[in-house]
Amino acid sequence: MSFPEARLRTGLPAEEAKSLARETAHHPDWVHDLILISAQPEGGTAPRKASWVLRHAALYDKSVLNGHGVAILRAVDQSQDASVHRELLKALLELPAAELKSMGEDLYDLGLGLCADTSLPVAMVHVGVQLLHASGLPLGEEVAEVWRERGLNAETVPLARYLTRQLDAMTKRSC
């Protein structure tokens, strides 16, 4: 492993984390290492910091994650940490549209599950909606049902409004 894992510590200052993210854009081999660290099922500081650095590396240079979509999805499956899931999925959404569409069914199923799971924080519903759109698949009636139900029982008014807008847009697209 060539990534300096010891730098992923508790109390890592934001500027140092951003510096690591910028460095990652110049060390593409670190991407694989960050994904492996993020996937550690026991969680903890290193996986959380690794997923954050990975996402921010993609924000600096989207191409750094090209070809790593399947590995990122695998890391989401292996991790037990919701904050790692969120960061990895946000990083995944930075991939080129063609790569996302190649994972269409997986993204669709994952996105639908995130939208339906009322135990997840509101932010994950937003990620779920983004995954559904990124899948490139047509949004079916099951998506409308989940959004309608979740919107009616939304934890917050902004979430209810957001899902209503998503439903309206979906209806307009299908007309």
Q: What is the pLDDT of residues 54-92, one digit of tens each?
A: 999 999 999 999 999 999 999 999 999 999 999 999 999
* Domain-wise residue ranges, the chain: 1-95, 99-175
Model pTM above 0.75: yes
Is the pLDDT assigned to residue 93 strictly greater than 80?
yes
Query: What's the mean per-residue pLDDT of the chain?
Result: 93
Region 1-22 average pLDDT = 87
pLDDT given for residue 42 in this prediction? 84
pLDDT given for residue 28 in this prediction? 86
Please provide the DSSP assignment of 25-68 as one string: HH-THHHHHHHHHHT-TT--HHHHHHHHHHHHHHHH-GGGGTT-
pLDDT given for residue 77 in this prediction? 95
pLDDT given for residue 175 in this prediction? 63
Burial (CB count <10 Å: 0-12, 13-18, 19+), residue 101 = middle
Q: What is the pLDDT of residues 15-41, one digit of tens each?
A: 988 999 999 988 989 999 999 999 998
How far is Cα 58 from Cα 61, in angstroms, rounded to an integer? Answer: 5
How far is Cα 92 from Cα 169, in angstroms, rounded to an integer? Answer: 24
CA atoms lying within 13 Å on the CB side of residue 68: 27
pLDDT given for residue 171 in this prediction? 85
Is the pLDDT assigned to residue 166 strictly greater than 80?
yes
